[in-house]
Amino acid sequence: MIIEDKLALSRRPGVISFIREGMFYRCYQQSLFFYLTQCDGKIKILGKRIKKLGGEAVFYGGFPMTQFEQRYPQAELTGWGAEIQGDWSDRDYVLWYEECVNSLLSEIATAPQDDVDPFVLTQQMRHFLQSWEPGCYPPAVESGFIQGLKQHLSL
């Protein structure tokens, strides 16, 4: 399955899509966010920029099929994987992704480095730090911020 199809399945409202990939089920983007906030959230988060999508950051996480079947016997199996129905809005996802991931990581990675005082923070960095509270953001967002900050400071 191509990445565009995985992202389309993952953005359907009210559904967490678990896409079968080998011996794993993986969640992408919105489904990953919903999984983190609506389920037990025990999932390793990975991310990469997809050249085919213009460098868009795509985040995903997964676990073995056997664990999935034990955790979610109520899941509906499909031809491409499985899904769990729920009742939630993607408003929080949009805030999480656009403000915390896309803007921060993109601007930090592309910030000019020449003759910049390493202690000057971008507006997005300041906003993130001002709104940060323990447990407010998933670990992947906080880790991405620290990695971006290290890049910005050229450490």
Q: 13 and 77 share a domain?
A: yes
Last residue of a domain, one of 40, 58, 88: 88
Q: 76 and 133 share a domain?
A: no
Q: What 8-state DSSP symbol labels residue 39? A: S
What does the pLDDT read at residue 9? 93
Q: How many structural domains compose the chain? A: 2
Q: 83 and 116 share a domain?
A: no
Q: Judge whether 98 and 64 are in contact, CB under 8 Å.
A: no
Q: 99 and 78 share a domain?
A: no
What is the rounded distance in angstroms from the CA atom of residue 111 to the CA atom of residue 133? 25
pLDDT along the chain (155 residues), means of 10: 92 89 90 81 76 84 85 90 79 67 52 51 69 75 76 60
Q: 30 and 47 share a domain?
A: yes
What does the pLDDT read at residue 118? 46
Q: 96 and 44 share a domain?
A: no
Last residue of a domain, one of 34, 61, 88: 88
pTM over 0.85: no
Last residue of a domain, one of 60, 88, 116: 88
What does the pLDDT read at residue 104? 43
Q: 15 and 84 share a domain?
A: yes
Q: 34 and 97 share a domain?
A: no
Helices 123-131 & 139-153 angle (0-180, nearest 10): 140
**What residues pair up with 28 in beta bridges, in sequence order?**
60
What is the rounded distance in angstroms from the CA atom of residue 67 to the CA atom of residue 149? 35
Q: 23 and 79 share a domain?
A: yes
User: Which residues span the domain enclosing 70?
Assistant: 3-88
What does the pLDDT read at residue 3? 92
